[in-house]
């Protein structure tokens, strides 16, 4: 009976699904794309470093040491 007088602090108005929040959508997709780009770049650098270390480990010549 008392819920009629209570008001939620989180819902000020009903969402309008006909007009999406394009700023929020752009930020979400942009952030996701930036994170994927960073992860792919980091992965490629790690693979190059791994291959370099593998090549150094296999390199056994007497003139280097």
pLDDT at 37 over 80: yes
pLDDT of residue 17: 86
Above 70 in pLDDT, residue 54?
Answer: yes
Average pLDDT over residues 40-65: 88
- Residue 26, judged by CB atoms within 10 A of its CB (0-12, 13-18, 19+), counts as exposed
What distance in Å separates the CA atoms of residue 29 and residue 54, rounded to the nearest whole number? 37
Asked whether residue 39 carries a pLDDT value surpassing 90, the answer given is: yes
Please tell me the predicted confidence (pLDDT) of residue 16: 83
């Amino acid at each position: 009976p008392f819920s009629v007088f209570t008001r939620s602090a989180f819902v000020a108005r009903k969402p309008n699904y006909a007009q999406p929040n394009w700023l929020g959508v752009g930020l979400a997709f942009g952030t996701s794309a930036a994170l994927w780009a960073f992860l792919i770049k980091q992965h490629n650098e790690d693979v190059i470093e791994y291959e370099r270390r593998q090549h150094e480990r296999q390199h056994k010549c007497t003139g280097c040491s």
